[in-house]
Structure 1
């Protein structure tokens, strides 16, 4: 019997051990402990605890922008997860191999799946809002680098508004410690600073504040489809559902 099959049997026994029937509960608990002892499964094994992963592609960059990183980490915090970048190989249309990075949300099931869904929905909306901002507000900007920087500022404002309530949340410390232990055990995470194309931009100009403000105004229209979770955890983002 492989480990995953054993884990599933132990989970079922542990679920039955919460039965109101004392005899059934005791028998199920004994069975769970017997499985753990026989197959040398630790009670703190991450898989037994219910820690899961779900990945979603953002920009694909191995060094994403500040606003993309903030969006991913805000959603992770909202769902009591941890977000990391995971490398992957994709085959392009012309049949070449390309290394890309996906966001992997790690936490207690089913939180990662919901987090990846939320990121996908909001990131798509953000890209659309960025395109509209560029076409309507940056038509006269001739220098491509300046256009990109200003669009980035708009996106930063959008994300700040869409995730404004996340800073007030306090994830369960014990669960986050277990998730962190899982990450250290299963993943080789490299810490790197996100790309900030406005690092040297003068923050005291009207243009800077106007672009950021435009993003915040557009971010108020961010929406999430609540079909996956009945509209509860996702409302913590502070966006419409």
Structure 2
């Protein structure tokens, strides 16, 4: 059975299961469930196999750092997005062509989770990344434009500002942790997704200490608390509603 045929089978079984739980006709509901069970037994499928079919993946290619060592602020931003949307993620690489046609190795970030959560995670990450970049540029221009500083000191303060900004965002977002059952499904999916290529240990580079780092970090924290998810990406209000649903706010 090809991957396409297997996906069609899983969709059919999930549809039958849905009919079995939503149909008011007892006979038709039981018949749908029995047919789903027959198909699962015939193709040696388990409930876990059905759950794996609900896991989706969304990839961001707009990463503002291609460093081998992931900046601490970037790793923290990805973690905050996962925390808020119930996703998981990993960093990877892809190749893109430069203006001269040469291949360039670039960073990518893969979100994975149940149903629409990865798409929401990608949306939130894209919006926050843009706002972080704008906030950092504004801070560096307004705070240090007229000051004579070493290039490395400016870079360190920028990283301190970014890390503070992400902490500020984390303070205002609500946390959503998938259930243990869902976490198990995601672990199994990732194992199948990666195959023989196990994920390696992530090398994270924290912001370096420097003169004025505390002030830069505090400025970032205050700016991060003003982040707005409703801005910056084609006005996708439906995505924000999905985020609140994912967090369980509409389940009460």
Relative to the length of structure 2, the TM-score reads: 0.82
Instruction: State the Cα deviation string for residues 16-46 of structure 1 (Å, max 9, x = none).
Output: 1212322222121122222223333332126
Q: Does 1:152 align with 2:162?
A: no
Contact map agreement 1:77 1:171 (CA 8 A) in 2: no
Contact map agreement 2:87 2:113 (CA 8 A) in 1: yes
Q: How far is 1:131 from its partner?
A: 0.8
Number of residue equivalences: 231
Aligned to 1:41: 45
Contact map agreement 1:7 1:47 (CA 8 A) in 2: no
Contact map agreement 1:70 1:159 (CA 8 A) in 2: yes
Runs of at least 5 residues in structure 2 that lack an aligned partner in the other structure: 231-235, 248-252
Distance 1:52 1:232 in 2: 15
Q: Does 1:115 align with 2:125?
A: no
Matches for 1:120-199 after TM superposition, within 5 Å? 120-139=126-145, 140-165=147-172, 169-187=176-194, 188-198=198-208
Moved more, 162-171 or 1-10: 162-171
Q: Does 1:11 align with 2:11?
A: no
Q: How far is 1:107 from its partner?
A: 0.8
Pick one of 51, 54, 57 that aligns with 2:55.
51
Contact map agreement 1:69 1:194 (CA 8 A) in 2: yes
From the superposition, tell whether residues 106 and 232 of structure 1 become closer, same or farther in structure 2 (CA, over 3 Å).
Answer: closer
Runs of at least 5 residues in structure 1 that lack an aligned partner in the other structure: 237-241
From the superposition, tell whether residues 167 and 230 of structure 1 become closer, same or farther in structure 2 (CA, over 3 Å).
Answer: closer
Aligned to 1:71: 77
Pick one of 28, 32, 48 that aligns with 1:28.
32
Aligned to 1:208: 213
Contact map agreement 1:60 1:102 (CA 8 A) in 2: no
Q: How far is 1:60 from its partner?
A: 5.0
Aligned to 1:219: 224
Q: For 1:99, what is the secondary structure of its paired residue?
A: strand
Contact map agreement 1:54 1:106 (CA 8 A) in 2: yes
From the superposition, tell whether residues 186 and 111 of structure 1 become closer, same or farther in structure 2 (CA, over 3 Å).
Answer: same
Q: For 2:204, what is the secondary structure of its paired residue?
A: coil
Aligned-residue CA RMSD in angstroms?
2.3
Q: Does 1:93 align with 2:81?
A: no
Contact map agreement 2:51 2:185 (CA 8 A) in 1: no
Contact map agreement 1:154 1:214 (CA 8 A) in 2: yes
From the superposition, tell whether residues 179 and 48 of structure 1 become closer, same or farther in structure 2 (CA, over 3 Å).
Answer: closer
From the superposition, tell whether residues 3 and 133 of structure 1 become closer, same or farther in structure 2 (CA, over 3 Å).
Answer: same
Instruction: State the Cα deviation string for residues 105-146 of structure 1 (Å, max 9, x = none).
Output: 111111111011000000010011111111111222442211
Contact map agreement 1:51 1:179 (CA 8 A) in 2: yes
From the superposition, tell whether residues 94 and 111 of structure 1 become closer, same or farther in structure 2 (CA, over 3 Å).
Answer: same
